[in-house]
Chains A and B, each alone.
Chain A
Amino acid sequence: MEPLLEFIRENLGSPGLAILISNPQFAFIQLLNSISMGMNYFIIAAGLSLIFGVLKVINFAHGAFYMFGAYITYSVTELMGLSFFWAVLAAAIGLMVMALIIERCLFQFIYDKEHLMQLLLTFALVLILGDLAKIIWGTDQYSVAYPAGLAGATNLGVTFYPSYRLMLCVLGPAIFIALWLFIERTRWGRITKAATQDRDMLSALGINVPVIYTGVFLIGSALAGMGGALASPFNSPAPGMDANIIVECFVIVIIGGLGSLWGTFVGALIFGLVFNFGSVIVPNAQDIFAFLLLLVVLLIRPWGLYGRAESEGHR
């Protein structure tokens, strides 16, 4: 075994792969890394997917909402001294308020516009929100403490693993189940699904479609804010943090299928696995595998793993 490991280390230039093969504990840790990363991205990307699925708007400013969620968490925990739980709630509510203003003043006018216009407009929003964050919180970077009881590591028997990340591994699926139940098992969820298929018919049946649209945008933005809040203990609130996740979120949503909750969940998990294990095998080219996967999906199944082809789309 040792000569093989030496060959992998020296000739293939992959010490990580050698560790992966020889150390099952290391492989298990990478699996947990993949899931926790995936769930972190899922919470953020779910909102993006929801907004596109119902409103057919590609919201480039989703990353800015995530950033605001992180900043709000900092303000609530470090400046106001409240608990992390209240901070996450405040981030969600704060983003809903912000989203309400943005939707009523801006987004409601672009639902029927072509995607390029939507992208340009939401990109302009990114710049505006970036400056707004700078006016409110300045240019310093901040640190949010891990919530009490989750700062250390949990003994899983075979290894210790950061408790906060384990919490994300549980919270991500919990949010997925809650969203799925809302969409599949509630009246409002069914109405929301109907809005993705034929909003004219829905309107004709007396449903106030603009209210549905506003509601979906609020929920999607709240998810982005929550994602930022939950990421803030390990991703410092700082200027420019919005740009750090938006590309990955789009990759996940495209792989999974725009507008598909299942797709986003599975896409996030796949992204986490591909990124983490890919980084171990080829340490200096982490992005290659995830973006290769994106290329393959776009070539073979451009509507994503769980998406629907154009002809079945929104009317």
Chain B
Amino acid sequence: MSSEIIFAKGNTMRHRLLVSLVIANTFLAINNLHAEEIKIGMLYPITGGGAIYGSPAQIGHRMGVEEINLDGGLLGLQAISVERDTKLNPATAAAAAKEMITKDGVNVLIGGLSSSVGLAVSEVARQEKVIYIATIAKTIQMTTNKRHNYVFRTASHTDFEGDAMAQIAKQLNAKSICDIQLDYAYGHDLAAGIEKGLARHLPDTKIVLSLRPKLRATDYNVFITQIMGAGCDVVTGGLWGPHFVDFAKQANPFGLFQQIKFIAGGEIGSHEIASTMGRDYPDNVWANSYELWYHHPNEEHKKFHSKLSEQLGTHETTMWPVLAVIGVRMYAAAVKQAGSLDPDLVAEALRGMSIDTPVGPRTIDPTTHQTDTGQFWGPMVKKEGAPYRVMDPITYIPALLLD
């Protein structure tokens, strides 16, 4: 057979293939227009090191989706949850996000735990023009230099957190500060947030030592002993979760917490840290949390806590579910307002969106796409009758940066 004939045959075949693809895509598009459900994508770590936070967040996410359906759905459509395990890994999260968009056809991505995962998912959302609501990742970059039309954050961010820590340092009359942060996006951004906060509230106080242990550090002795040798009276730290637990357990025998006051970001005041550490939770720690099961700022929180207790099978509930619920709720409110699933219209609705939540009202800034999410702060103390250390007194520090 001559090459011309083969080429001609090939052309015909390619033409037929192209036509088939167009027809198939048209049917798919028609099907999507008549989709019977809204697909709410969820991205949390369900296995590995982040599962301790991702698993309860998954429960909160499902509670949020259930809330939508009990309310009659969105635009007459039932909501379903499409879920992926990010394994706390940015590459895995990005691949999962892409698959959820291209294969599963999700209408929105919600979640992301660590800052690096959040940034990775945000980039996918930008490329694919799909709304992404970051419910936990705190890096300031997401709503500043890496902000785009489709990313919104319902979590707090590192400038708010750093400013709150500086306010507490001022209350404690800090003269010299040692700062210890994990060596990745969140840690670096929180350090910058603390510096900005100190410039605002304690301009005469110096950071005399900055330490950056790796994200998977296991031995903190070298950092603990440097802090003790540096002579600072306050330590600011962003060691979250197991990092703080290990740090504190290694620092206790050195007597670190008897010599300094420790202001801990990273939600060290939350239930899972306080309950895990029990009697090993150190003295002189000021910590934060998004939500505390034993503190009801409003009536809705009581109901929410009751429902969550049922889901988790325990009265002492963790704070991660409420963050996931807020993300889903914010999206649902925006879809209702927009009257459409079109990402650009939903994004427009999200700018300036206000909702009520179990931890108070939340509003998204139309310019920065950042929600005004403050946190509860206070010293962690032993209290009669409490199963482990609790925050007392509890102060809500709003998300305000006053110059």
Residues of A within 8 A of B (CB): 15-16, 19, 23, 26, 29-30, 33, 36-37, 40, 130-131, 134, 139-143, 145-146, 151-153, 160, 162-165, 231, 233-236, 238-241, 243-245, 275-276, 279-280, 283-284, 286-287
Please state if A238 and B49 are interface contacts (CB–CB under 8 Å).
yes
Please name all residues of chain A whose beta carbon is closer than 8 Å to the beta carbon of B222 when the two chains form the complex: 30, 33, 275-276, 279-280, 286
Complex partner residue of B254 from A146, A162, A231, CB under 8 angstroms: A162
Complex partner residue of B50 from A33, A153, A240, A275, CB under 8 angstroms: A240
| Interchain CA distance A30-B224 in the complex, whole Å | 11
- Whether A143 contacts B249 in the complex (CB less than 8 A), given A134-B47, A275-B222, comes out as yes
Please name all residues of chain A whose beta carbon is closer than 8 Å to the beta carbon of B88 when the two chains form the complex: 240
Please state if B52 and A239 are interface contacts (CB–CB under 8 Å).
yes
Interface 9-mer from B60-68, B205-213, B333-341 = B205-213
Complex partner residue of A153 from B49, B52, B212, B253, CB under 8 angstroms: B253
Chain B residue with Cβ nearest A284: B212
Please name all residues of chain A whose beta carbon is closer than 8 Å to the beta carbon of B213 when the two chains form the complex: 286
| Interchain CA distance A26-B229 in the complex, whole Å | 7
Complex partner residue of B272 from A140, A145, A275, CB under 8 angstroms: A140
Complex partner residue of A26 from B219, B225, B242, B277, CB under 8 angstroms: B225
Please state if B249 and A141 are interface contacts (CB–CB under 8 Å).
no
Please state if A141 and B226 are interface contacts (CB–CB under 8 Å).
no
**How distant is B168 from chain A, measured CB to nearest CB, in Å?**
23
Please state if B223 and A279 are interface contacts (CB–CB under 8 Å).
yes
Interface centre among B48, B88, B209 (most CB of A within 10 A): B48
| Interchain CA distance A275-B219 in the complex, whole Å | 10
Please name all residues of chain B whose beta carbon is closer than 8 Å to the beta carbon of A141 when the two chains form the complex: 52, 241-242, 245, 272, 276
| Interchain CA distance A239-B221 in the complex, whole Å | 22
Chain B interface residue number, banded: 35 or more
Top 7 A-B pairs, shortest CB-CB distance = A240-B49, A162-B253, A139-B51, A19-B229, A33-B221, A240-B48, A284-B212
| Interchain CA distance A37-B52 in the complex, whole Å | 27
| Interchain CA distance A236-B239 in the complex, whole Å | 14
Interface centre among B54, B219, B229, B246 (most CB of A within 10 A): B219
Give B210-252 as 1s and 0s: 1 = Cβ < 8 Å from A's Cβ atoms: 1111101111011101100110000000000110011001101
Please state if B49 and A241 are interface contacts (CB–CB under 8 Å).
yes
| Interchain CA distance A16-B180 in the complex, whole Å | 13
Please name all residues of chain B whose beta carbon is closer than 8 Å to the beta carbon of A153 when the two chains form the complex: 253-255
Residues of B within 8 A of A (CB): 46-52, 54-55, 88, 183, 208-214, 216-219, 221-223, 225-226, 229-230, 241-242, 245-246, 249-250, 252-255, 272, 276-280
**How distant is A158 from chain B, measured CB to nearest CB, in Å?**
14
**How distant is B122 from chain A, measured CB to nearest CB, in Å?**
23
| Interchain CA distance A241-B50 in the complex, whole Å | 11
Please state if B242 and A238 are interface contacts (CB–CB under 8 Å).
yes
* CB<8 Å pairs between A and B, sample of 20: A16-B226, A33-B225, A37-B219, A37-B221, A139-B46, A139-B52, A141-B52, A141-B242, A165-B221, A235-B246, A236-B242, A238-B49, A239-B49, A239-B52, A241-B49, A241-B218, A275-B222, A280-B222, A283-B210, A286-B222
**How distant is A122 from chain B, measured CB to nearest CB, in Å?**
17
Please state if B230 and A19 are interface contacts (CB–CB under 8 Å).
yes
Known A153-B255, A240-B48, A244-B217; 18 more pairs at CB < 8 Å: A26-B229, A33-B221, A40-B219, A139-B46, A141-B242, A141-B245, A141-B276, A153-B253, A153-B254, A236-B249, A238-B52, A240-B51, A241-B218, A243-B48, A244-B216, A275-B222, A283-B212, A284-B212
Please state if B229 and A140 are interface contacts (CB–CB under 8 Å).
no
| Interchain CA distance A239-B88 in the complex, whole Å | 11
**How distant is A165 from chain B, measured CB to nearest CB, in Å?**
7
Please state if A130 and B47 are interface contacts (CB–CB under 8 Å).
yes
Please name all residues of chain A whose beta carbon is closer than 8 Å to the beta carbon of B230 when the two chains form the complex: 15, 19
**How distant is B254 from chain A, measured CB to nearest CB, in Å?**
6
Please name all residues of chain A whose beta carbon is closer than 8 Å to the beta carbon of B46 when the two chains form the complex: 139
Please state if B246 and A236 are interface contacts (CB–CB under 8 Å).
yes
Please name all residues of chain A whose beta carbon is closer than 8 Å to the beta carbon of B50 when the two chains form the complex: 239-240
Please state if A15 and B253 are interface contacts (CB–CB under 8 Å).
no
**How distant is A167 from chain B, measured CB to nearest CB, in Å?**
11
Complex partner residue of B276 from A19, A29, A143, A160, CB under 8 angstroms: A143
Please name all residues of chain A whose beta carbon is closer than 8 Å to the beta carbon of B218 when the two chains form the complex: 231, 235, 241, 244-245
Please state if B225 and A151 are interface contacts (CB–CB under 8 Å).
no
Chain A residue with Cβ nearest B280: A143
